Amino acid sequence: MNLIFYWYPKCGTCRKAKKWLDDQQIPFEEIHIVDNPPSRSQLEDLYRKSGLDIKKFFNTSGQRYRDLGLKDRIKEASEDELLDLLASDGMLIKRPIVTDQEKVTVGFKEEEFAQTWKK
């Protein structure tokens, strides 16, 4: 199965990740994370499969995150509230998110991509 690559084309990190996948000749389906964000249930599935803390799914360097004052809010929020927040706005989601429906990576670290996605 091809990878699903949730990305934002204006994001430099996303472009680096896309170039890495292209250079490795790994096929993937691109999904614009702002125009076509994952649903709440998709986010919950990605979160569970990733093994990461839910807070790792937030784009903490993004303007929207700062505008909403989420730095303090996410410390106290429940998992359900955090999933609802993520599902409400694709700009709040850290990107890229890559999945093969079993494994999930969030963000781009070349070593992690090589370990997870290289055939």
**Does pLDDT of 119 surpass 80?**
no
- Residue 100 pLDDT: 96
Q: What is the mean pLDDT of residues 88-97?
A: 96
**CATH class of residue range 3-117:** alpha beta
Please give the model's pTM, rounded to 2 decimal places.
Answer: 0.94
SS3 52: coil
> Cα(23)–Cα(42) distance, rounded to whole angstroms?
28
Domain boundaries, the chain: 3-117
> Residue 5 — very low, low, confident or very high, per pLDDT cuts 50/70/90?
very high
Contact between residue 87 and residue 40 where contact means Cβ atoms under 8 Å apart: yes
DSSP state, 58? B
pLDDT tens profile 10-66: 999 999 999 999 999 999 999 999 999 999 999 999 999 999 999 999 999 999 999
Mean confidence (pLDDT) of the chain: 95
pLDDT at 1 over 70: no
